[in-house]
Each structure stands twice: as C-alpha cells, then as structure tokens.
C-alpha cells in the first residue's frame, strides 16, 4: 500500500524544468553593428570623392585622352553605389556559418560581389589597354575574372561549409590564371609597346596583384570560416577596395605616359567630329554632281 502511495506522490510532483539550450536556428546571426555601418558610410564617401576627382581630371584632359579617366570614373562610381546600398541596409542575406566560430549564421553582402563583377573586369581593362594586350586575350582574362567572382559568390552563399571551400578553390584557380597572364604576356606586350609603358605596367600590375591576393585571405577568415566579426570583414574589404580602386586608379591616371594612352581618333573624340582629322563631317551643299 505504501508503495502505491509513494508512486502516486512521485507522479504528482512537478517535473524539473531546466533551461533548454538555444538551438542554432534562433541564435543571433553574426551581423554588422553600428560600427560596421559607419565603416560602410566612410568607404562610400571615399568612393564618391574619388569619382568626383576622376570626373574633374577627365574634363580637364583632351577629348582624345579621356578613355582612361572615364574608365576609372565608372569603376569608382559603381563601387560608390555598391557601398551606398550596403550602408543603407540592402544587398545582403543571412547564410549558415560554422557554429563553432562566433555564430551559426552570418550576414553576407552579395552587393559587393555584384560590384566586383563589374569593377574587376574594368580594372583589368585598365591594364590591358595600357599594355596593348590583344582583344582575344583581354576577353579570356575577363571571362576568367568573372568565373573567379561568380564562384566566390556561390561559395559565400553555400549552406555547406565543406562545399563552400570547394567553390573557393575554383575561384582561387581562376585568380591564378588571371595573375599569371597579367605578369607573363601582359608584361611582354607592355614592353613591346614602349619601355616607359613596360616600366609603369610592371609597377601597377604587381601592385594590383598583391592587393587582389589579400581578398581571398579575408574571405577565408570571414565568409569562409566565420573567424572574424562582420564589422572587421567590412573594414578589411573596405580598405582593400579603396586601395584597388580610387588609389590605384589615380596612380595609373597620373602616371601613364603619352605612349601608354589609348588615343581615340579625332573624329570619334571631338564634339561633332573633325573633318580636318579625317573624320565624318557634313557634305558641302555646293559639291553636287
């Protein structure tokens, strides 16, 4: 009888209620704070100032020497628009990250990959025009570059950490192809064009290759493994973008010798064409058959 009574009392007791573990699905994701947003606004301001500088230098240059100014103006303007989008809270998503590093979920800015898909081919175009690389090789470089950016984006968004690094490997392989061609054939064409052009090309191509090498390193610590905060990721990529776009672009604009410019035909560059330069002009009305 006592056993039955004890069992009854036992079942009437309230069960112990422990504090359950918070599942990863409802953890706060690793996202930028107010500090990270401030970084984005600062980089946007730098890009906007850079675009204004290239606009001024382009207006001051002769029509026939404006392509390099216009090219870098477009590059920095796209970057400014991208950072404006990120600073105002768009162009991002949440993806699964490594639960053993900071958070199980992480904020990824896909807007920067859209930026890179437009600006990195234009940066390569800066170099190929300077060196005089043939159009076929230029197209191959740009295709490899777009493959590099595309696989990097897929890797950043992939829910599986294992397969994420596979796409990272594809991106790095394309990066090696781009850099190898810039250093080998690009250098050859630049010196064939002119020794001054070759000397400048050596400097700017090497500088861009070094800066671009830092991008996959940041990717590995940020979107690849989640080992650094989203704020530090924004800071690192922002610094690299400033160096690779307005700073590097201003260097190539100011240092390019006359022999390295892509000079437009006068009929194409001058407003309304130029008959004296061999372009298309109006047909005199008196010259009739």
* Residues 103-129, mean pLDDT to the nearest whole number: 94
Domain with residues 30-266, CATH architecture: Up-down Bundle (1.20)
Could you give phi then psi for residue 94, rounded to 5 degrees? -110, 130
Out of 19-23, 119-123, 139-143, 239-243, least confident range: 19-23
- Confidence band of 111 (pLDDT split at 50, 70, 90): very high
Distance CA 81, CA 69 (A): 18
Q: What's the pLDDT at 78?
A: 99
Q: What's the pLDDT at 281?
A: 38
Q: What's the pLDDT at 282?
A: 37
Distance CA 68, CA 70 (A): 6
pTM to 2 decimal places:
0.83
* Residues 164-169, mean pLDDT to the nearest whole number: 96
| Local structure of 171: helix, strand or coil | helix
**Are 192 and 130 spatial neighbours (Cβ–Cβ below 8 Å)?**
no
Q: What's the pLDDT at 160?
A: 86
The residue extents of the domains of the chain are 30-266
Q: How many residues does the chain have?
A: 289
Q: What's the pLDDT at 277?
A: 42
| Local structure of 93: helix, strand or coil | strand
Structural element, H or E, at residue 109: strand 105-109
The more confidently predicted of residues 70 and 105 is 70
Distance CA 57, CA 282 (A): 31
Distance CA 99, CA 226 (A): 9
pLDDT tens column, 10-67 = 555 555 545 445 444 446 788 999 999 999 999 999 999 999 999 999 999 887 788 8
Q: What's the pLDDT at 61?
A: 87
pLDDT tens column, 186-232 = 999 999 999 999 999 999 999 999 999 999 999 999 999 889 999 99
């Amino acid at each position: 009888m006592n056993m039955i009574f004890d069992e009854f009392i036992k079942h009437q007791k309230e069960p112990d209620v422990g504090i359950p573990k918070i599942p990863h699905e409802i953890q706060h994701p690793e996202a930028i704070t107010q500090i990270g947003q401030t970084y984005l606004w600062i980089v946007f301001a730098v890009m906007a100032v850079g675009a204004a500088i290239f606009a001024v230098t382009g207006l001051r240059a002769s029509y026939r020497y404006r392509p390099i100014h216009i090219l870098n103006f477009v590059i920095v303007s796209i970057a400014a628009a991208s950072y404006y989008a990120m600073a105002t809270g768009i162009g991002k998503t949440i993806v699964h990250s490594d639960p053993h590093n900071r958070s199980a979920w992480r904020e990824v800015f896909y807007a920067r990959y859209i930026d890179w898909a437009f600006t990195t081919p234009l940066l390569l175009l800066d170099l190929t025009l300077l060196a005089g690389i043939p159009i076929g090789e230029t197209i191959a470089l740009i295709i490899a570059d777009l493959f590099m950016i595309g696989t990097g984006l897929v890797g950043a968004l992939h829910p599986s950490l294992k397969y994420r690094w596979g796409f990272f490997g594809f991106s790095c392989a394309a990066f090696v192809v781009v850099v190898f061609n810039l250093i080998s054939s690009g250098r050859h064409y630049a010196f064939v064009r002119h020794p001054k052009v070759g000397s400048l090309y050596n400097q700017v191509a090497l500088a861009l290759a070094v800066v671009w090498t830092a991008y996959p390193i940041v990717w590995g610590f940020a979107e690849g493994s989640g080992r650094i905060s989203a704020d530090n990721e924004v800071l690192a990529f922002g610094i690299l973008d400033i160096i690779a776009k307005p700073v590097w672009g201003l260097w190539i604009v100011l240092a390019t010798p006359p022999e390295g410019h892509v000079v437009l035909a006068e009929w194409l560059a001058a407003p309304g064409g130029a008959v004296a330069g061999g372009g298309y002009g109006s047909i005199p009305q008196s010259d009739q058959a």
